[in-house]
Amino acid sequence: MTSASERPLLFLDVDGPLIPFGSSAGDSEAVAASPTTVDQGNPLLARLDPGTGARLIALGCHLVWATTWMEEANEVVAPRIGLPRLPVLEWPDADAAGAPRGLHWKTRPMVEWAAGRPFVWVDDEISAMDRHWVDAAHPGPSLLHQVDPAKGLQDADFQALAGWLDAVPPR
Ligand SMILES: [Mg+2]
């Protein structure tokens, strides 16, 4: 039995992976809505798949929000997809000096949080710079998994995540 502290981390984005942007022209107005204006009537929330939480939990990771929704992910997203309240990756201090141009704001805080533990990052905005940074700064296994924001998390994504997690050596 693996204890909770030994499970891999999974950093989870909202916009794109959980709320797909879609491709029809009629969706553009909804996509432009700010998460900070979220309420019961926000059309973005209708795009959440209620079954996603169970599938994420089944991966057996320690889930962490990594999204500009911040604490609102716990308030309005988690209940709609069957997730409990999760810890939230904090926006880094403004003095993020030393971070190269093009590095995602999430990348360095994730590596620091993981502190060498295996981690997965599920996002639609992963660049080559992020991959280079993680390769250089993170001594443990990592999977930076890019999701197609037009579709959101699909069966193939869950299969890829589960396959990688199955292959992670136990600590
Ligand atoms: Mg996103």
Per-residue tokens: 128: 């080559």
What are the residues whose beta carbons fall under 8 Å from the beta carbon of 30, sequence distance 6 or more? 43, 44
Per-residue pLDDT at 6? 79
Q: Determine the CATH number of domain 4-167.
A: 3.40.50
> For the segment 111-149, what is each residue's pLDDT rounded down to a tens digit?
999 999 999 999 999 999 999 999 999 999 999 999 999
> For the segment 98-115, what is each residue's pLDDT rounded down to a tens digit?
678 889 999 999 999 999
Confidence bin at 43 (pLDDT 50/70/90): confident
- 19 Cα to the center of ligand 1, angstroms: 8
- 15 Cα to the center of ligand 1, angstroms: 4
- 130 Cα to the center of ligand 1, angstroms: 14
Going from N- to C-terminal start, the domains of the chain cover: 4-167
- 125 Cα to the center of ligand 1, angstroms: 6
pTM of the model: 0.87
